[in-house]
Amino acid sequence: MHDTAAILTQGMYRTASAKTAHGLVRGPCRYRITAVIDAAAAGGDAGEVLDGRHRGIPLVASLDLLLGDGRQPPRWLVVGVATTGGVLPDDMRPVLQQALERGISVVNGLHDQVSDSPALAAAAASSGAAIIDIRKPKHHRDLHFFSGAIKGVKAPRLAVLGTDCALGKRTTCQVIAAAFRQRGLHAEMIYTGQTGWLQGSRFGFVLDSTPNDFVAGELEHAIVSCDREMSPHLILLEGQSALRNPAGPCGAELMLSGGARGVILQHAPTRKYFDDQEHLHNDIPSLSSEIELIRMYGSIVLAIALNHEHVAAADREAVRADVERESGLRAFFPLIEGCERVYGLIERYLADERLR
């Protein structure tokens, strides 16, 4: 957290597309966030707009306004959105150009590579600014193939999977890790997306920019490295997409290659269709069938983590009760109440794993 950074969301801060920005505002973050640039949300505090908690991060309308108020310019500008297909919005390019020309370095987690733009690359070269494209694919010689070394890992693994995309799986990992720290225990998260890297997680890889042949090996390498170097009490595996999302099925790797015998299953009770597939009427499978599928993979769902989007505060307990009836499992709202309601279940899972 030595370097400062502003986050660019360009009108999307109040939407789920700004989940990268939301994760960095909530923290942790490898940078000290000084502002969020978003004209549609300008004038407030980024934390208060996000979840009602003041964090001292102003929402400003433009980069010009941020740089014109006499404050020290940030060292970095972070692209804070996760768009469908990882496309860099056209209206962000002039802002990135302006930042790079002023010597402000850019961090980008989209599939669209900022460094592939001749104009943006030239601006960076001229000013001495850096460009970090987190999703830039590695050369195959720098990737790891599955070796079986995972069998020697001592730390139990717990995967946070979801019934859909953009549910808060990474945030739930952070909530559980924080609960461990509060008890003087050590949990590490293996990141599998760009925001996990931005949050400062040391071990992981960007799954959707890794050739399929190497996904299992990169996951294994991250877990083995984490176990050898940190000896944590628990290794949390950040899930991506969903097991049966037709636009990008994902998650089996964490159980089969990553050895996660325990699962926290994240779910949004108010969603009927997969994210961005409403027009296709692609139904999200039932919780009970998802739990059974995970069981068939050889893992067990410990609890249900609930995304509270579109759930009024007065309805939360009724929604929780419905989910618990359907799933037969305890449910919790990680962003609202942490994981105290299910922490004992995780403790029992760890005890069982140590006896294996």
Instruction: Annotate 134-178 with DSSP letters as a single string.
Output: TTPPPPGGGS----SGGGG--S-EEEEEESSSSS-HHHHHHHHHH
pTM, rounded to two decimals: 0.93
Given this model, what pLDDT does residue 245 score? 97
Q: Give the fold, CATH level 3, of 4-133.
A: Rossmann fold (3.40.50)
What does the alpha-carbon distance between residue 344 and residue 309 come to, in Å, rounded to a whole number?
Answer: 26
Domains 4-133 and 142-355 belong to one CATH topology: yes
Average pLDDT rounded to a whole number, residues 126-148: 96
pLDDT tens across 332-356, in order? 999 999 999 999 999 999 999 987 7
How far is CA 210 from each of CA 109, 122, 213, rounded to the nearest angstrom?
14, 27, 8
Q: Which CATH superfamily is domain 142-355 in?
A: P-loop containing nucleotide triphosphate hydrolases (3.40.50.300)
- DSSP state letter for 305: E
Tokens of 335: 């962003």
Is residue 85's pLDDT more than 90? no
- In this prediction, residue 134 has a pLDDT band, given cuts at 50, 70 and 90, of very high
Is residue 296's pLDDT more than 90? yes
Mean pLDDT of the chain: 96
For the chain, the structural domain boundaries read 4-133, 142-355
CB distance 262 to 300 below 8 Å: yes
Is residue 331's pLDDT more than 90? yes
Spell out the alpha helix ranges (H) of the chain: 19-26, 46-51, 63-67, 93-101, 118-127, 169-182, 194-198, 212-230, 252-256, 287-296, 316-327, 334-337, 340-355
pLDDT tens across 35-77, in order? 999 999 999 999 999 999 999 999 999 999 999 867 789 999 9
